[in-house]
Amino acid sequence: MSSPDSQNPLIVQGDHTVLVEVDNPRYPEARDALARFAELVKSPEHIHTYRVTPLSIWNACAVGETAETITGTLRRLSRYPLPKHIEASLRDFAARYGCLRLNRRDADSLRLVARDLPLAEELGHQKTLAPLLRARLTSVEFEVAAADRGRLKQALIKLGFPTEDLAGYLAGEEFPLALRPVTRSGHPFAPRPYQHEAAEVFHAGGAERGGSGVIVLPCGAGKTIVGMACLALVRASTLVLTTNVTAARQWKSELLDKTTLDEDDIGEYSGNCKEVRPVTIATYQILTHRPSKESEFTHFTLFDQRNWGLIIYDEVHLLPAPVFQITASLQARRRLGLTATLVREDGLENEVFALIGPKKYDVPWKEMEKQGWIAQAVCTEIRLPMAEARRMQYAVAEPRHRFRIASENPGKLRLVRQLLEWHRGVPVLIIGMYVAQVEEFARELGLPLLSGATDQRQRDTVYEQFRRGDIRALVVSKIANFSVDLPDAAVAIQVSGMFGSRQEEAQRLGRILRPKPGENQAHFYSLVSRDTVEQDFALNRQLFLCEQGYEYRIVTLDSPDAPLPEPGLRQGDAP
């Protein structure tokens, strides 16, 4: 057993938080270890704070961690002895993973099996479970209607009991397909080792333990290829759910290029097109559309229009709440979630765990960077003051208006001009949240603009021009946060964002992480009004990326007209 060492970087506290000394030589080791079973909640300059939660432990257990390996890691890196009750809590959290199993009983019913009699008694006396437990089969077993499979798992996780679902899956409509050894465009193709491994872990040879779960990979690491590899393993009709039409068409393009599917095999189900084919790609927007708040979700019928063998949820951290509702009734279908982060700003991580499945595969972003699978990224936050007149406007504004006043600081335009000059000839994205702001930037800089008002045909045209190099810089609203395939973008300049959204920060960095020729270098700039709520929110936005090992270099300007400091901010240099 490792003994505490005064030089170690961790302090484990009795409230399940862990303090990490950033300047400690063993900080990188501690950060990478904690990322497996804890969540970063604060990241000021010198001491970062993590929290261990039941869900973080359950997801760790789902990829092979145990209470012993987790407590062993904490002991090895802790400056002081672990509080005894923390060791007990970790054992309790981990023990709850797998203490309930759901097995198939017959075509219409399931069997919920508790690890022991006290747990079974506890479940039997829970009022919220009473409508879902049909009968007591034995002292530790309950009968459950097959139709209540999802609702039961939701109810149990709310009580603090994750359920290991071994009830199996419907085979779905058979539809054989394979990955191509050579793409239609004539390039050799095979999944990268981690993509192949992720698909195999999800499928698990087709056994009961395989077929539901979430694959977590960095933006730019090829999650779509993992999805295609899973589709080839399942070999059945598949429904792919995506964030928008652009993403849907990227999926179709990749499927046609890298699998044996033909054009007629793939259907697009969106606002403009309602095709249902052996592989159908739909958008979350169309699924959640309804004429009024009182109406039914018209397009939920899509889930019943074929005997789907697999449902893929792209960007599962964005899954709309109504789709969770329908997913609760789809537990007999294989379900794959793809995401760069399990963080959800609405706090529904438990729903992802219960209804899509636990984390099955995860690779830290920095590990992928070391192996060259994603670009090396330098993150820089530039803090600029507001001019005096705007500071007065900010000072007298109501609190709810201050964030936008700070975000739309006119001084940001001058900094964008300077950054564009420094990165001349390099593909650049300028990303903002507010339409009026991005319209002004596009107008003043003479650049194309893509926003929610841009029709799909124009978006496709501009994306293609950017890929070809005809356009070297592009202004985009938040539509570019997700699933926009711009592999050549090497610089992103964020001029405004959605409050403290950690997932948005991760997705925006992801726009520039695809591997680059040469130095494989990317730059991510975030422009923030100094000494405002925007600066406060920026700290929270950066949490997930800090957890993944990215550092934000801070450049503070003393006046609204101050130029960026010349040394270290040019292309290819670290700030």
pLDDT, mean over the chain = 90
Are 492 and 347 in the same domain? no
32 and 549 in contact (C-beta within 8 Å)? yes
Residue of 574 and 279 predicted with greater confidence: 279
Q: What's the average model confidence in pLDDT over 494-503?
A: 88
What does the DSSP assignment read for 36-75? Answer: TT-EEEE--SSEEEEE--HHHHHHHHHTT--HHHHHHHHH
Q: Rg of the Cα trace of the chain?
A: 25
* Per-residue model confidence as pLDDT tens digits over 171-209: 999 999 999 999 998 999 999 999 999 999 999 988 777
Are 251 and 393 in the same domain? no
Which residue range forms the structural domain that includes residue 152?
Answer: 100-166
Whether residue 451 is predicted with pLDDT greater than 90 in this model: the reply is: no
- The secondary structure of residue 25, as a DSSP letter, is T
Residue 484 falls inside a structural domain: yes
Report the number of secondary-structure helices (H) and strands (E) in the chain.
Answer: 21, 23
Q: Where are the alpha helices (DSSP H) in 312-410?
A: 321-327, 349-351, 365-370, 388-396, 399-407
- The secondary structure of residue 484, as a DSSP letter, is -
Residue 224 falls inside a structural domain: yes
Degrees to nearest 5, angle at CA 361 with 355 and 365: 120
Are 237 and 285 in the same domain? yes
Specify the pairing of strand 164-166 against strand 266-269: unpaired
- Find residue 279's DSSP bridge partners: 238, 266
Nearest in space to 165 (alpha carbons), one of 335, 340, 341 = 335
* pLDDT at residue 43, as a whole number: 79
Confidence of residue 366 (pLDDT cuts 50, 70, 90): confident
- Pairs from 82-89 (Cβ < 8 Å, separation ≥ 24): 82/12, 83/12, 83/13, 83/14, 85/14, 86/12, 86/14, 86/16, 86/52, 89/16, 89/52
Specify the pairing of strand 39-42 against strand 47-51: antiparallel
Q: How many CB atoms lie within 10 A of CB 293?
A: 5
Residue 438 falls inside a structural domain: yes
Residue 117 falls inside a structural domain: yes
Q: Among all chains, which residue has been given the structure tokens 């961690």?
A: 65
Are 342 and 374 in the same domain? no
Are 392 and 540 in the same domain? yes
* pLDDT at residue 485, as a whole number: 59
Q: Token pair for residue 260? A: 């044996």
Specify the pairing of strand 428-431 against strand 552-556: unpaired
Which domain-ending residue is among 124, 148, 166?
166
- From 302-306, 425-429, 497-501, the region with the lowest mean pLDDT: 497-501
CA separation for the pair 228, 195 (Å, rounded): 10
Q: Where are the alpha helices (DSSP H) in 345-434?
A: 349-351, 365-370, 388-396, 399-407, 411-422
Q: Which of 24-28, 32-36, 109-113, 463-467 is the most confident on average?
A: 109-113
Phi-psi region of 549 (alpha: psi -120 to 50; beta: other; left: phi over 0): left
Which domain-ending residue is among 335, 363, 391?
363
* pLDDT at residue 188, as a whole number: 95
* pLDDT at residue 342, as a whole number: 86
CA separation for the pair 184, 207 (Å, rounded): 33
**Domain at 385, CATH number:** 3.40.50.300
Whether residue 452 is predicted with pLDDT greater than 80 in this model: the reply is: no
* pLDDT at residue 573, as a whole number: 40
Q: What's the average model confidence in pLDDT over 533-540?
A: 92
CA separation for the pair 52, 38 (Å, rounded): 5
Give, to the nearest 10 degrees, the angle between helix 456-468 and helix 245-258. 50
Residue 471 burial class via C-beta count within 10 angstroms: exposed 0-12, middle 13-18, buried 19 and up: middle
- The secondary structure of residue 3, as a DSSP letter, is P
* Per-residue model confidence as pLDDT tens digits over 123-176: 999 999 999 999 999 999 999 999 999 999 999 999 999 999 999 999 999 999
Whether residue 12 is predicted with pLDDT greater than 90 in this model: the reply is: yes
Residue of 542 and 483 predicted with greater confidence: 542
Are 548 and 405 in the same domain? yes
Which domain-ending residue is among 40, 71, 96?
96
Are 353 and 229 in the same domain? yes
CA separation for the pair 235, 232 (Å, rounded): 5
Whether residue 432 is predicted with pLDDT greater than 60 in this model: the reply is: yes
Residue 301 falls inside a structural domain: yes
Q: What's the average model confidence in pLDDT over 370-377?
A: 90
Residue 201 falls inside a structural domain: yes
Secondary structure in 3-state letters for 69-134 = HHHHHHHHHECCCCCHHHHHHHHHHHHHCCCEEEEEEECCEEEEEECCHHHHHHHHCCCCCCCCCC
- The secondary structure of residue 148, as a DSSP letter, is G
Are 208 and 243 in the same domain? yes
* Per-residue model confidence as pLDDT tens digits over 28-77: 899 989 989 999 888 777 899 999 999 999 999 988 899 999 999 999 99
Q: Model pTM?
A: 0.88
Are 347 and 379 in the same domain? no
Are 216 and 355 in the same domain? yes
* pLDDT at residue 29, as a whole number: 92
At 266, phi and psi to the nearest 5? Answer: -115, 125
Residue 175 falls inside a structural domain: no
Q: Token pair for residue 337? A: 């979630």
Residue 117 burial class via C-beta count within 10 angstroms: exposed 0-12, middle 13-18, buried 19 and up: exposed
Residue 173 falls inside a structural domain: no
Are 439 and 552 in the same domain? yes
Domain count across the chain: 4
* Per-residue model confidence as pLDDT tens digits over 547-574: 888 888 999 999 988 888 864 444 334 3
Q: What is the dihedral of CA 90, 94, 100, 101, to 10 degrees?
A: 180
Are 206 and 304 in the same domain? yes
* Per-residue model confidence as pLDDT tens digits over 292-343: 888 889 899 999 999 999 999 999 988 898 998 899 999 999 999 999 888 8
Alpha carbon distance, N-terminus to C-terminus of the chain? 42
